[in-house]
Each structure stands twice: as structure tokens, then as C-alpha cells.
Amino acid sequence: MIPALVTIPTKVATPKWQRVPGAEGLYLRTETGVYYSRYRLHGTRTFRSLDTDVLTIARLRHAEKRLDVERDRKRGVVTTTTLRTLGDIAEEFSRRVA
């Protein structure tokens, strides 16, 4: 007599982030359904929420975010981690306005 095979249920891990096809840097957080934009500015990669769970809106906001990042890159804007005090923010603001 052949013993019966016992199947052990395995938990398949679902990825937390899912890339959106056709949109470089656009990701879906699978746990919440919210879309995020991922970009690099001065060597720092970061995720920023697009505050939507609708793909068409996410694509539009992602395109706007990419334009803003590219403008900042061309102007030489520093990353926000260096803006630690109100004085730093005031200096950056006056530099951008000038």
C-alpha cells in the first residue's frame, strides 16, 4: 500500500510594490491600492505618494512629478534632508524666487 501524500499549505508572499507597465517610476502599493512615484534626485531614491488609487489620475500626477523633479534638477535644488531649519527653508525660497 502506498502512503497518501500530505500537502502542506504554503503561504505565497505577495509583493508590496507592483510596477505599472508602460510608466517608468510609477508603482502601486498592493496593500493599500495607492499609487506612488519613484524618482532620484541628487543620488537619493525616494517614493512619494500620488494620493490616489485611480490609475489614470496616477499617470497624470506622476508625469507632473517627473517634470517638477527635472526642473529642480536643472536648477540645482538640494534635497529636503538638508532643509532642517526655518532659516534653511527661507534661504532656499529666496534662491528659487530670485
Length of the chain, please? 98
CA–CA separation, 17 and 34 (whole Å): 10
pLDDT in tens, 33-70: 999 999 887 677 888 999 999 999 999 999 999 998 88
pLDDT in tens, 81-94: 666 788 888 888 88
Burial of 32-62, coded b for 16+ CB within 10 Å and e otherwise, reads eeebbbbbebeeeeeeeebebeeeeebbebb
